[in-house]
Structure 1
């Protein structure tokens, strides 16, 4: 069959898109308001074009610091760079976005729209912090639906946090259902967990899948991937052992052999190095807390409660809420959910190896999100962490994409 083409809205760093590309879909455009994420998408777009044309070495030259980012981007057709549209989706910008997408499409059609509006307005944590009733992000779904009306894709995938189910007592969700129905689509939703797709992370997401009314379809059944792998043994063990404040933004060579998990997931994909294996520098107070937290978790299987610390280590007056502010990544099972707040501090993502005594690196966070090791997050360590925390795990995206491909065929 002909190539299946998709538009990615609120694309972030491209985790969901990467999964669809792996499944054989072709991106027509990515729309994202964050510049750093757009730069990441452009760099990844360059990788895919160079690889498809037998020139992957030129991408790896960039990772190794042999050429600049502008030189990398100049090596591919410039319409592909322009297909990453760095703008906020709003009533004012929609005509311009449509014009740019139309120029990229030419006479082709769009088979699929994917993506999910920013989740802060729907998240439980966001609603705790402030009244989100008037937050304009609550209504971004209306713009999403306008892409369905404009391009009439066969199907769409709408991703968001579980909090969308209860936001405003389910009112926002009903508005989405009504708007999609008026646009001529049927839809169903389920709460899916990334670990069921082989991701070493407990990450639940609402996945809404829709299709045009004239298609005889129903929500797909996903086979659960049986998990037999552990983070310390299978996900982190081949990376250089570093301490707080150490590592490299550029090249880090592997210190261990690959394994079935890294190979089968495509995290390690043929080259002998990765990048962005760099950790934060922590103060001595935090490092002592890290040692206590790791010892308690690894040896006793218990989480550290902040109020239990020696008084000299307690620096926050509030010891009754957020008592799990220091949490170790589960070394034997799957990680707790990686969120964007990892960009602000790493206390919630402490490495389980007490000898390394640090929070996890950018590369380790990316691996927990199942990004391949040659995926490069642009701009800075803080920006990279934020992009990773906001992303859909690649393996989850690929699993969804494979089912969608079958449904369209």
Structure 2
């Protein structure tokens, strides 16, 4: 397929906080619109689109003032054209909204052809953990069928190709009639006019300091000659502790939402991956206020790991520290991020509930990860600002957006490889 690479545009469905989109923007693609039902995530997308517009117009200092807390969100947006802010469509994709979303996107396209659709619906209905916790195993959950709306966008816009991402549990989840959702999905995409290929991509193989296995379906119009965009593999050289080494020391309950200074020079990886950029300060390096009981458990968990790479079993704790009634399952609920390894265990949205599964490896700091540290494991740049509904920075929605995201570096690798289909 031949086309000018600079002309590749895309539509991001179920966009979340924008990790997948950030990778494609970094690779030179142009977003037509992001569609996301969560209001906090939609503000995050607007703020990030504002950042890109300001940077491209030599007004990065305005963004710096915002992340330093010197401007309110509405004041930031006044510096940015409505045509940029309006590319974020804060609506749920459902029968009631579908036509209005099409109309809004058509307006943004202004007669142009849509080249690409990216994104994946919420994964809770397909995930193994979600199914294990639900009494009906997620049967009948409406999120199981959001792929049908994805097909509606393919049918309406007829892009050359699409990238659909989800958890590996998608491959085994079954509908109420016993059929695999994945098989039904592939059949529907084929009926819509698309050939498909899929692979399970493990993020740590592509330069992301985190084990994260996800299914990526690549679909392309029947009759086109296109190849699967598996990114080039990259070796990780730094440990997780080195990934955090330039971040200021923060104890439980302390830190800053707004601009913070680095405490030391960054590693080569931090610059090569574009996580760190010295012209813009880091944000969201603020820790939860952990209870005294939890901090005692954290100390035990960290010592076990640093002294013998042994994970803590909840039932092995001293009795006075056990506050959970459930002693039979989730006995690994307290887990240290392995600072001596090159990659951490998977960051998921549950980090928004508590930080017990993401304990900082530094015993002296004795806390769970800050949103910025979790974002680094997802390879978000330090200048990425995670919004809340209110306009004031809040940890919980930030953790949720981070945990649900596609790692930026993995998205960038896919986007770069995908370009070969247009060259």
Q: Establish whether TM, by shorter chain, passes 0.5.
A: yes
Residue aligning to 2:191: 182
Shift of 1:128: 1.0
Match 1:55 to one of 41, 54, 59: 59
1:349 to 1:325, Cα distance in 2 relative to 1, 3 A: same
1:53 to 1:137, Cα distance in 2 relative to 1, 3 A: same
Shift of 1:363: 0.5
Residue aligning to 1:79: 83
Residue aligning to 1:403: 417
Is 1:212 the counterpart of 2:221? The answer is yes
Per-residue Cα deviation, 1:270-324 (whole angstroms, up to 9, x for no partner): 3262111000001111000000000000111100000000111111122221010
Find the aligned partners of 1:270 and 1:211 in 2 and give their Cα distance: 40
Residue aligning to 1:34: 38
Is 1:321 the counterpart of 2:329? The answer is yes
Residue aligning to 1:276: 284
Find the aligned partners of 2:230 and 2:350 in 1 and give their Cα distance: 32
Quick check: 1:253–1:272 contact (8 Å CA) kept in 2? no
Per-residue Cα deviation, 1:193-241 (whole angstroms, up to 9, x for no partner): 11111110000000000111121123234332112211102x1000111
Match 1:93 to one of 87, 91, 97: 97
SS at match of 1:275: coil
Find the aligned partners of 2:32 and 2:226 in 1 and give their Cα distance: 24
1:9 to 1:199, Cα distance in 2 relative to 1, 3 A: same
Quick check: 2:231–2:416 contact (8 Å CA) kept in 1? no
Residue aligning to 1:66: 70
Quick check: 2:251–2:365 contact (8 Å CA) kept in 1? yes
Residue aligning to 1:331: 339
More deviation in 215-224 or 334-343? 215-224
Quick check: 2:230–2:414 contact (8 Å CA) kept in 1? no
Find the aligned partners of 1:117 and 1:293 in 2 and give their Cα distance: 35
Find the aligned partners of 1:134 and 1:317 in 2 and give their Cα distance: 30
Find the aligned partners of 1:246 and 1:277 in 2 and give their Cα distance: 9
Is 1:382 the counterpart of 2:396? The answer is yes
Q: How does 1:5-16 map to 2 (within 5 A)?
A: 5-16=9-20
Residue aligning to 2:391: none
Match 1:366 to one of 368, 371, 375: 375
TM-score by length of 2: 0.95
Moved over 3 A (4+): none
Residues paired across the two proteins, number: 408
Is 1:238 the counterpart of 2:246? The answer is yes
Q: How does 1:278-293 map to 2 (within 5 A)?
A: 278-293=286-301
Quick check: 2:229–2:415 contact (8 Å CA) kept in 1? no
Shift of 1:251: 1.7
Find the aligned partners of 1:221 and 1:308 in 2 and give their Cα distance: 43
Is 1:128 the counterpart of 2:132? The answer is yes
1:180 to 1:133, Cα distance in 2 relative to 1, 3 A: same
Where in structure 1 are there 5+ consecutive unaligned residues? none
Quick check: 1:351–1:359 contact (8 Å CA) kept in 2? yes
Per-residue Cα deviation, 1:86-144 (whole angstroms, up to 9, x for no partner): 11101111100001001111021111000000000000111112221101111100100
Over the residues paired in the alignment, what is the CA RMSD in angstroms? 1.0
Residue aligning to 2:405: 391
Q: How does 1:82-161 map to 2 (within 5 A)?
A: 82-130=86-134, 131=136, 132-161=138-167
Per-residue Cα deviation, 1:341-389 (whole angstroms, up to 9, x for no partner): 1001000000000000000001001101000000000121101001100
TM-score by length of 1: 0.98
